[in-house]
Amino acid sequence: MLASSGYVARVDPSECIVCGECREACPFAAIEVDGDLVIVDDGLCMGCGVCVSVCPEQALTLARDATKSPPLEIQELIELAGG
């Protein structure tokens, strides 16, 4: 089972050159290129950040999405598990 990170990708159209690298890299097929626009489907985006890491223009960022579950606090989970 996959869990969303609680974030979604956001595109800054003033920085985006519509190269399609993000679309190719997205493991969830959440990014489409439509003419001169890059569109992120918030419903499919898991907030993994792969697109952010491959963007040559740094036109993508991750933003908190209040409609998704809160991000997991890994350190807190480790402590709760007794680690």
Q: 42-72: per-residue pLDDT in tens? A: 999 999 999 999 999 999 999 999 888 887 7
13-38 burial by CB neighbour count: b if 16+ within 10 A, else e? eeebebeebbbeebebebbeeeeeeb
pTM: 0.82
Tally the domains of the chain: 1
In contact, 62 and 82? CB cutoff 8 Å: no
Give the pLDDT score at 63.
95
Instruction: Flag whether 11 is in a domain.
Output: yes
Instruction: Flag whether 1 is in a domain.
Output: no
Band of residue 1 on the pLDDT scale cut at 50, 70, 90 = low
Instruction: Flag whether 20 is in a domain.
Output: yes
Cα separations in angstroms, 57 against 46, 63, 71: 21, 17, 26
Instruction: Flag whether 2 is in a domain.
Output: no
Contacts of 61 (CB under 8 A, 6+ apart): 9, 10, 12, 52
Instruction: Flag whether 51 is in a domain.
Output: yes
Give the pLDDT score at 83.
65
Q: Residue 53 belongs to what domain range?
A: 7-80
Q: What CATH number has the domain bearing residue 25? A: 3.30.70.20
Instruction: Flag whether 15 is in a domain.
Output: yes
Q: Which of 14, 32, 35, 37 is nearest to 22 (CA)?
A: 32
Instruction: Flag whether 33 is in a domain.
Output: yes
Instruction: Flag whether 12 is in a domain.
Output: yes
Give the pLDDT score at 69.
83
pLDDT greater than 60 at residue 27: yes
